[in-house]
Structure 1
Amino acid sequence: QITLFTSLFQYTYKIERDLRKQVAPLLKSFQGEIDALGKRSKEAEAAFLNVYKRLIDVPDPVPALDLGQQLQLKVQRMHDIETENQKLRETLEEYNKEFAEVKNQEVTIKALKEKIREYEQTLKNQAENIALEKEQKLQNDFAEKERKLQETQMSTTSKLEEAEHKVQALQTALEKTRTELFDLKTKYDEETTAK
């Protein structure tokens, strides 16, 4: 009986020692996968935080809207100037009628009319040039700001999509790792049960 017990003890000890040798690499591999998953999770969090910080820095569209409002106000001012010019023309026409009624003033009236016409033309040209220059400058400034805003939005969208792809890849890797770990555990349980 002692010999049988000794043999049984040695056999059990050998099985336990063999089992430890087989399980040790599995546990080491399991720990490596857990460490890798932890590292991937930190990288995903860092990528998400980086994208979030960049989204916070996206410029506010309010300045562009303010610029549009200023442009509208300047157009309104130009309309007011045109209305005032029209009133001045009407006043000048009235003066011209009064001058026409004065006898022996034909030469003076003609000269005055010519000067008035030249003055009106000069004022009209200056007003149109100023209006065109202001409008062109405002349009260029607005277009430039809009282009920069679109570039920033496209860049931000691209980086967000890249981060989402990374997160999706990490999620897929995590699911795959979980499946592999479950398969390893199932296999380990089956081998343990078989032994």
Structure 2
Amino acid sequence: MDTPQGGSDPVESNPSSSSVFIVSNFWKELDLEKEKSLLDGQGLRIAENLENSQKNRRKLARVQEVLFSPTYFKKASAEEKLRLFNSLLKGYQEEIDNLTKRAKFGENTFLNIYQKLYEAPDPYPGLASITEVVSEGMKKELQTRPTEKLVEGLRKKVKILQVKLSEKISLLETDDGKIRELTEKVNEQQKLIQKLEDDILKGYSSKEWKGTLFDDWDISESTGNELSEEIRQLKEKIRAQTADLEKTKTDNVKLYGKIPGL
């Protein structure tokens, strides 16, 4: 069936995708875990053959040492020498056979691995293309998502700061009004106290004077002691209002310090 004009297999049209597909398919069919298990068994067998070969060679070396020792060679009979010589010859022949089998087994193992690795596609192009795709994706993600989150976070912070700033400005305005009010009250009462003390020192005691001067304080006919008590209480009130005024000013200064840019 002809391929429609203008269309193509995405795998064939993209060499990187094709490389990834080939590498993935090869290693899937190879079954690396199975091959590793086979290689483990072959490696153990090679190690056992090597150990057995070393044992046989040491045994043959001891027999040869006995056979060709001057003492044994003079004392042993011809038949005994022949028997020992045949045993030594047979041992060497067996060892040669074992060495041949070992060499053949090792060669087959190597060729099997070599053939599979020789047929294996180079994984680097496919891995490089995957790495490039992942890297580009990460770059795009770092360029977009963090920026959006950062902007959104900054917007929320600005809104919170605007609300806090509005609240602090409102508090400042309220406190400024309170300060002015308290200041006026304190100044007014201090003036009245000073006037009252001055008048008392001058000896004013007429009923008409009291009625006009003390209407705001509800001071009626009273003795000198009662008037002094009235003054004392009024002074205490002024001190309390002054302390409240100073506290309000201190809080106001702290509030100003917390507003950015002020």
| TM-score normalised by structure 1 residue count | 0.49
Quick check: which one's helix share is greater? 1
- Please tell me whether Structure 1 or Structure 2 has the larger radius of gyration of its CA atoms: 2
Task: With the length of structure 2 as denominator, give the TM-score of the two structures.
Answer: 0.38
